[in-house]
Amino acid sequence: MMMDFVTTGDGCRIAYRFDGPAGAPVLLLSNSLGTAMDMWVPQMPFLTQHFRVLRYDSRGHGLSDAPNGAYSLDRLGRDVIELIDALSIPSIAFCGLSKGGMVGQWLGVRAPERIQRLVLANTSPYMGPPSGWDGRIAAVRKGGLAAIADAVLERWFTSSFRATEAIAPARAMLKTINPEGYVGCCAAIRDMDMRPLLGLIAIPALVIGGSEDTATPPDHTYTLVNGIANAKCVMLTAAHLSNLEQPEAFANALLDHLKS
């Protein structure tokens, strides 16, 4: 894999890679909690026909550094801005899933001039109560990712999909995540509440939900759709990682929005 790194202002190395034609518009993809940039592999044959695709491992995940301590959504959003600044990219199309979609909401509010179009997938403006995240942080601190892996996979996929070998890459990805990075990002999600700010997002937005998603259920999807001016909605028959469970339908929804 052709991987490169940038270093953020606070000294965190962020791993990234490009795929697709050099002259094409840039589409940045942002991964979920507990995955890395490889979560987007099923979409790449579709997306690289039209875009220069920029993937990165978010702070605490994949080959990026995992600093100790709680992260914030502000910090995760700044990582994206510092990445595209370092690469001299003035503006991007953005797609993020789950935690990546929370970063997308932040960008839509805080850096709209850098975002041409926005896709928020299987995500939420608020994932309370905080006590649930404190419990997850405590479990990972005590037993590592293995302590929560089965529960995570149950949220990620429908039972029928979990019965297939297609979940093997996701299970393998989860095992590679640094526990410090995972709990750091859990803290960012715990402390986030974008609900009062959704009305500030004026970028053309698509919200993708999963009808079987128990992590960010359809009512969270509709909170985003109703809160963001002129947002469109696509509901896929999938659980939380809808891009893995419905790869072609996800790619088609993404392209329909980005190319319209």
| Span 73-93, pLDDT tens digits | 999 999 999 999 999 999 999
CA 104/CA 110 separation, integer angstroms:
10
CA 2/CA 62 separation, integer angstroms:
14
- Quick one: how far is CA 214 from the chain centroid? 16
Mean pLDDT confidence for 39-45: 98
Q: Report the pLDDT value the prediction gives residue 149, as an integer from 0 to 100.
A: 95
Q: Report the pLDDT value the prediction gives residue 180, as an integer from 0 to 100.
A: 98
Q: Report the pLDDT value the prediction gives residue 1, as an integer from 0 to 100.
A: 53
The confidence band for 145, taking pLDDT boundaries of 50, 70 and 90, is: very high
The proportion of the chain whose per-residue pLDDT surpasses 90, expressed as a percent, equals 98
Mean pLDDT confidence for 156-163: 97
The confidence band for 205, taking pLDDT boundaries of 50, 70 and 90, is: very high
The confidence band for 2, taking pLDDT boundaries of 50, 70 and 90, is: confident
Identify the structural domains of the chain with CATH numbers, from first to last.
Answer: 4-259 (3.40.50.1820)
The confidence band for 255, taking pLDDT boundaries of 50, 70 and 90, is: very high
Average pLDDT, the chain: 97
- The larger pLDDT score, comparing residue 230 to residue 48, is at 48
pLDDT at 107 over 70: yes
